Amino acid sequence: MKKYLPILSAIPLAITGCASQTPKQPNIMFILCDDAGYADFGFNGSTDLKTPNIDKLASEGTILTDAHTSASVSGPSRAGIMTGRYQQRFGFEGNPPANGSVDLKEITIASALKEAGYQTSGFGKWHLGSDVAHRPNNRGFNYYYGFLSGGRGYFMNKENDVEGNNHSIRENDHFVTFKGYLTDVLANKAVAYIKNRDRNKPFFMYWGPNAVHTPMQAKQSDLDLFKGHKRQTLAAMTYALDRGVGDIVKALKDEKIYDNTLFFFLSDNGGSPENTSSCYPLKGFKGNKFEGGIRVPYFVVWKGHVLKGQKFSGLSSSLDIYATSLAAAMTPLKEEGKDISNLTKIANKLDGVNLIPYLSGKKTGNPHSALFWRKEEEAAARIGNMKLIRVKNLGERLYNLKTDLGETKDLTKLNKKDLENLNNQLDKWESNMIKPLWSEGEKWLDVTWNIHKDLFFNKKVRATSPSKLKNYYKNHPNEKDSYKISK
């Protein structure tokens, strides 16, 4: 079945703009939002948030409607993206503690592309290790401007902006201060890099602002544009995010390298209830195994290689970014007769799939026959249209996403064959993973367990954080039930 539905970073090996028949490597621009909701961009159905620049960019490529991240929270999701491998292979299952990091044996996408001849740069949130050996400049990035932790404020503040603080801004691992609104600053830095790049090399750029993660902070001028809006601060923050994307795209066009740039745009996980994001029409949100936690807004653009103005409904993953980027970088090298054996070895270890054959129309169907998820006591599997969610000391649910995208009708008693198959495949996958190297702790285990319980029974979620759960039980002592008690 065809999966398309019609719908209303330096340069290549030869300098862009010069006429040549020599195959050219594309620049690669990877834009990763933080906690953005599935329905909070115009290209994915939003009518109340303004994202004209992002929507225009999306219209020039293909929107992936059944695309997922490899985790429902930021740290492990980014670990999967940066390595192109299930993060459970190296124990990075939950958000990392202060000393948590990606195993140094894992080759990041930046390191692989550097070996392929790229200059590499990153901007924004890291969240993959704060020790010196695990910082961006030691994990493949020639240049980095951002912060090491999982979040921070959007303006300079005394709490974050202290030398040695992992929330502070670093430029190539040196503490720096900044002026203005951080999303704008990150965009300006990216634009400056594009204009001052080495024109003799292609570039890979990771642009990962903390927008629209909490804290909910926006510029007053942006807030003024959305007076009376039900989600005023989110609307303002999203508008700033969109402005940043617009500035980056304009810089690429001004430099006449836009047409040879491969774009990826997505969120690191599902939208968060803490920032008022919307995951409509999906069930769940950031932090759980329902579609709202792992299915994300996602599109790919590459002129002449990716179909324009299309929707692709094949099963795809954020893990595919690495595989797709590496394939795009390797193809010209191979055509030029260069040795790519080491790059091929890296590609063969990836869990992701090269999406270009699917997004160009050369292949149809699902890039992945199956996808799997696990974070401590919760796991999920997707094979075809069937989705399994199982939670320790709670049970399991089986859904047919083709007929029940909202995951409301449990089929565990009606479809024993699929239930057995998904459980067997999930067990087999888990047997090839290692145990998590750390835990997010019993407070978060409790919250996540309770969220899954409420969603299992199609009830309103009672609490989305440890403090909210504590307050709920304080007011409803007879309802107290938790992972700790149930185990």
Cα separation, 141 vs 121, in Å, equals 5
Retrieve residue 468's tokens: 């909210």
pLDDT confidence band for 4 (50 / 70 / 90): very low
Asked whether residue 14 carries a pLDDT value surpassing 50, the answer given is: no
**pLDDT tens per residue, range 67-117:** 999 999 999 999 999 999 999 999 999 999 989 999 999 999 999 999 999
Which residue spans of the chain are classified as CATH 3.30.1120.10? Answer: 370-431
Fold type of domain 370-431: Arylsulfatase, C-terminal domain (3.30.1120)
Which residue spans of the chain are classified as CATH 3.40.720.10? Answer: 4-16+23-359
pLDDT confidence band for 216 (50 / 70 / 90): very high
Q: What are the b/e assignments for 64-80, b being 16+ CB within 10 Å?
A: bbbbbbbbbbbbbbbbb
pLDDT at 6: 37
The DSSP string of 195-245 is HTS-TTS-EEEEEE--TTSSS----HHHHHTTTT-TTHHHHHHHHHHHHHH
CB burial of residue 217 (10 Å; 0-12, 13-18, 19+)? middle
CB burial of residue 384 (10 Å; 0-12, 13-18, 19+)? middle
Q: What does the pLDDT average to over 397-426?
A: 98
Asked if residue 156 lies in contact with residue 137, where contact means CB atoms within 8 angstroms, the answer is: no
CA-based torsion, 9, 13, 17, 20: positive or negative: negative
Q: Which residues pair with 375 in a beta bridge?
A: 378
Fold type of domain 4-16+23-359: Alkaline Phosphatase, subunit A (3.40.720)
Distances in whole angstroms, Cα of residue 97 to Cα of each of 76, 173, 486: 12, 20, 26
Cα separation, 102 vs 115, in Å, equals 19
Q: Which of 72, 12, 20, 29 is nearest to 283 (CA)?
A: 72
pLDDT at 482: 72
Retrieve residue 255's tokens: 């430099």
Helices 232-254 & 182-195 angle (0-180, nearest 10): 10
Asked whether residue 13 carries a pLDDT value surpassing 80, the answer given is: no
Is the preceding peptide bond at 357 cis, omega within 30 degrees of 0? Answer: no
CB within 8 Å of 448: residues ≥ 6 apart: 287, 288, 375, 377, 378, 483
Q: What does the pLDDT average to over 259-275?
A: 98
**pLDDT tens per residue, range 156-212:** 999 999 999 999 999 999 999 999 999 999 999 999 999 999 999 999 999 999 999
- Backbone φ and ψ for 191, nearest 5 degrees, come out as -60, -45
Q: What does the pLDDT average to over 231-239?
A: 98
Asked whether residue 369 carries a pLDDT value surpassing 60, the answer given is: yes
Q: What does the pLDDT average to over 264-293?
A: 98
What does pTM read for this prediction? 0.94
Retrieve residue 275's tokens: 């920032």
